[in-house]
Amino acid sequence: MSTLDTVSAAEGTPAPGRPRPKSTGGGGFGRYLLVRFLLIFPTIFILVTLVFFLMRTTGDPITAAQGGRLGPEALAELRAAAGFDRPLLVQYFEYLAQIATLDFGSTLTTNRPVVEVLATYGPATFELVFYSLIVAFAVGIPLGLLTAYYRDKPQDAVFRVLAIYWYAVPVFFAGLILKLIFSVWLGWFPVAGRATVSAELQMQVQPNKTGFYTIDALMTGNPEVLIDVLSHAVLPAIALGLLTAGIFLRLVRTNVIGTLATDYVDAARSRGVAEFRLLRKHAYRPALIPIVTVIGLQIALLLSGAVLTETTFEWKGLGFILAEFLESRDFVAVQGIVVLLAVIVAVTNFVVDIIAAFIDPRVRY
């Protein structure tokens, strides 16, 4: 994803020779909102189509899952029962109609509705991404400001190399090493999972449990359960968070260097504005728009990272379950999860674009 700044630079170029039409007052934002909202659907549609046809080139899900285990007759029977022997296009349109009603079918291995699987494991992934974003913001943005301010000085050098290093370390390797040092050798944090069994039991008996363990733990009112849940989240959040922090650092640094060189920063400095305030208010604020936009695009990277982090720490979220379904070749489930993640990415990008347009009127159509 580190090519992003290059790419966005090229994309941001307005078409030469064609003056940008002036926005017509208040109507501009509403229209932009609508157009941008409608653009979500082709994105999702394309991805669903792509995934559907790609998966079917391997054959139908039942042959893929059961091939070799069942005789050809039993296989044909199962395929006919599931409707996989009909023309591909018919199945495709049927699948589209199904998805439109939010019915993703049932998993082949466990015969649970995919929607239910998503509802069970989704909150775990959400929690992991949330915690790692906290780590990424807490580490990436201050360090980005620092490196921009001390540009080309030793501080800059150290943290930039560190940022590249964080990005170069695969998140699962970082996870394994963190686990080895802090769980196995030092014993500070649990090795894997989202909570210990006893804590999980206490949360299970809650009348209206949410699946978000932090919230559930708070509802039990037992501080030990909460500590247990939080201590499980520390290492995964650091592993995934540092990867993202490296990207945030680069991003903040590049953009703040740009704003630090502007005349109004010089002007503010000559008026005697304190250096810290200068950095926080005058340089950082205007740099926020490109930062927000690119951070929004990182959601795709975060989800990829979450799949790997969850597998490393046996964090029972969408990524973990996806890896399990992959192993058992349960392609209906895989397809459902992939489509859901596509929807999440498309919607996030929509929200980010809207925020960017809200901050900066120039972005609107």
Partner 1 sequence: MAVASVTPARRRLRDRLPVVHQLRQSVGLQRGMLVAGLVMLGVFVLVTILAPVLAPYGFAQRADGEGSFGTQQPPSAEHLFGTTVGGYDVLSRVIWGTQTALLVVIVAVLLSIFIGVALGLYSGYFGGWLDRLLVVVFDAIYAFPSLLLAIVLSIVISGGQSSLWGGVLAAAGSIVVVFIPQYFRVIRAETVRIKAEPFVESAKVLGASNSRIVFKHVFRNATRTLPLIITLNSAEAILTLAALGFLGFGIEPTAAAEWGYDLFKAQSDVTSGIWWTALYPGLAIVFAVLGIMLVGESLNDLADPRLRGRRRVAQASGQVAETSVVPGGTLTAGPGGLGGLEDEETFGDQGIEVRR
- List 106's β-bridge partners, or say none: 113
Q: Which of 34, 35, 50, 96 binds partner 1 (CB under 8 A)?
A: 50
Q: How far is CA 199 from CA 12, 16, 182, 222, in A?
A: 50, 61, 21, 9
- Please say which residue, 10 or 205, places its beta carbon nearer to partner 1: 10
Q: Which of 108, 334, 356, 357 binds partner 1 (CB under 8 A)?
A: 334
* Stretch of 152-160, 194-202, 212-220, 268-276 lying at the interface with partner 1 (CB under 8 A): 152-160
Establish if 142 lies at the interface with partner 1 (CB under 8 A): no
Q: Which of 303, 136, 299, 130 is nearest to 214 (CA)?
A: 130
Supply 345's token pair: 């990415």
Q: Which of 346, 353, 357, 364 binds partner 1 (CB under 8 A)?
A: 346
* Stretch of 39-47, 68-76, 105-113, 217-225 lying at the interface with partner 1 (CB under 8 A): 39-47
Binding residues with partner 1: total (CB under 8 A): 77
Q: How far is CA 284 from CA 57, 145, 193, 254, 274, in A?
A: 49, 8, 38, 11, 14
Question: Whole-number minimum distance, CB 71 to partner 1, in Å?
Answer: 20
Q: Which of 146, 249, 338, 356 binds partner 1 (CB under 8 A)?
A: 338
Establish if 126 lies at the interface with partner 1 (CB under 8 A): no
- Please say which residue, 106 or 255, places its beta carbon nearer to partner 1: 255
Supply 120's token pair: 């069970």
The span from the CA of 42 to the CA of 33, in Å, is: 16
* Stretch of 76-84, 151-159, 225-233, 267-275 lying at the interface with partner 1 (CB under 8 A): 151-159
Question: Whole-number minimum distance, CB 166 to partner 1, in Å?
Answer: 10
Establish if 57 lies at the interface with partner 1 (CB under 8 A): yes
What 3-state DSSP class applies to 18? coil
Query: Residue written as tokens 């992003």?
Result: 4
- Please say which residue, 174 or 225, places its beta carbon nearer to partner 1: 174
The span from the CA of 120 to the CA of 211, in Å, is: 7
Contact set for partner 1, span 172-191 (CB under 8 A): 172-173, 176-177, 179-180, 184-185, 191
DSSP per residue, 295-321: HHHHHHHHHHHHHHHHHHHT--SHHHH
DSSP H stretches of helix in the chain: 4-11, 27-38, 40-56, 61-66, 72-82, 88-100, 114-149, 154-168, 171-178, 197-204, 213-220, 223-260, 263-270, 275-277, 285-313, 318-327, 331-359
Question: Whole-number minimum distance, CB 79 to partner 1, in Å?
Answer: 18
Contact set for partner 1, span 287-326 (CB under 8 A): 289-290, 297, 300-301, 303-304, 307-308, 311-312, 322-323, 326
